[in-house]
Amino acid sequence: MQLRTDLTNRAEQAAYLAEALAGLYSGPPTPSPIRGGRRAALRRLRAFDARNYARARNDVAPRRNVSALSPYIRHGVLTLAEVRDSIISRFGLTPDTEKFVNELAWRAFWQLVYAHLGDQIYQDIEPAKRRARAPRRSLPPEVVSAQTGLVCIDESLQELYTTGYMHNHARMWVAAYAQHWLGVDWREGAELFYRHLLDGDPASNSLSWQWVGSTFSHKPYIFNRQNVERFSGDAFCSRCALASGGCPFDDSYENLAWRLFGVSLAELEGR
């Protein structure tokens, strides 16, 4: 369907987006990898192989090696401690298990920040170190409806909508694209994620978006096409109509720093 950008009335926008989303997926629903209950959580925990986690954890496709335990942890079906103990007891102390436990520690850290700040996590915790040149408030309809034409963005959002899950690396891509390329307020994106994620957690979700945006980190997170190709095995770019021209990510980090923020890469990174 033809995307419309002329609607200013919020009721009209909501009706339009509902219609757009309703027509997105005509095939059978994609089964979610997440199943409810303690038994399902323990099966998932026992099935997870932490070997090679440190190298493959950022691979969005095709060698994805994630535990998919976050929904069970988020809803208290599994505790961080029992997940840690299970992984170490089966695989020992290795660089892979160390990295996995480090990721568990990030979740614990987000919770401690939330306990300390409360609802302040829904506001900028710090001034942004850099902001996109062309700020805007809301997510464009083509992002919400996963019809940007960018396969890496659209299929990541489609996975979110159909399964309730999105790979963490893809979450970073989507969050960076929304904030830095489109200038969207991070709260808009965080709200979209929170509505659909089965592991949607106020602390992890909001603070991760702020980490990407540099209101809770020392620099904004950006990525480029080379990063997408490296961690997707070219699964996205090889099928993207914009790959031969028009990809907004197809540039060096130095050039992207200038394009998005008007500074050198060294300045962007605080060096």
Residues 217 and 259 in one domain: yes
Based on the fold, state whether residues 109 and 218 are members of the same structural domain: no
Element (H, E) at 46: helix 38-47
pLDDT of residue 16: 55
Same structural domain, 157 and 253: yes
Give residue 177's pLDDT. 97
Q: Which residue from 129, 83, 66 is spatially nearest to 260, judged by alpha carbons?
A: 129
Q: Does one domain contain both 172 and 95?
A: no
Whether residue 4 lies inside any domain: the answer is: no
Backbone angles phi, psi at 186, to 5 degrees: -60, -30
- Tell me, what's the pLDDT at 10? 60
pLDDT at 31: 60
145 & 246 share domain: yes
My answer on whether 145 and 263 are in the same domain is yes
The whole-number mean pLDDT for each consecutive block of 10 residues of the chain, a chain of 271 residues, reads 51 55 47 77 95 94 84 94 97 97 96 97 96 78 96 96 94 97 95 95 96 96 97 92 95 97 95 77
Q: From 121, 149, 168, give the residue that closes a domain.
A: 121
In a domain, 262, yes or no: yes
Does residue 30 lie within any of the structural domains?
Answer: no
Would 43 be classed as within a structural domain? yes
Cβ proximity of 139 and 184 under 8 Å: yes
Q: Which residue, 58, 87, 121, sits at the end of a domain?
A: 121
149 and 260 part of one domain: yes
Indicate whether 264 and 147 sit together in one domain.
Answer: yes
Q: Write out the DSSP string of 122-161.
A: GS-SS--SS--SS-BSS--HHHHTT-SS-HHHHHHHHHHH
Q: Are residues 178 and 252 in the same domain?
A: yes
| Per-residue model confidence as pLDDT tens digits over 79-136 | 999 999 999 999 999 999 999 999 999 999 999 999 999 999 999 999 999 988 766 7
Last residue of a domain, one of 121, 154, 185: 121
- In a domain, residue 26? The reply is no
How confident is the model at residue 1, as a pLDDT?
38
Residue by residue, DSSP assigns 17-31 as HHHHHHTS--SPPPP
Crossing angle of the two packed helices 80-91 and 95-117, in degrees rounded to 10: 170
Q: pLDDT at position 61, please?
A: 82
Q: Residue 47's domain spans which residues? A: 38-121
* Torsion-angle region of 262 (φ positive above 0: left; ψ -120 to 50: alpha; else: beta): left
- Output the pLDDT for position 204: 96
Same domain for 263 and 146, yes or no, is yes
Two tokens, residue 174: 């989507």
User: In this structure, are 210 and 94 located in the same domain?
Assistant: no
**Would 11 be classed as within a structural domain?**
no
- What's residue 112's pLDDT? 97
Domain harbouring 207, CATH code: 1.10.579.10
pLDDT value of residue 127:
95
Query: What pLDDT was estimated at residue 271?
Result: 77
Amino acid at 200: G
Is residue 2 a part of any domain in this protein? Answer: no
Within-domain flag for 238:
yes
Number of separate domains in the chain: 2
What CATH number is attached to the domain comprising 52? 1.25.40.80
- Please state, as a whole number, how many other Cβ atoms lie within 10 Å of the Cβ of residue 254: 12
Residues 113 and 170 placed together within one structural domain of the fold = no
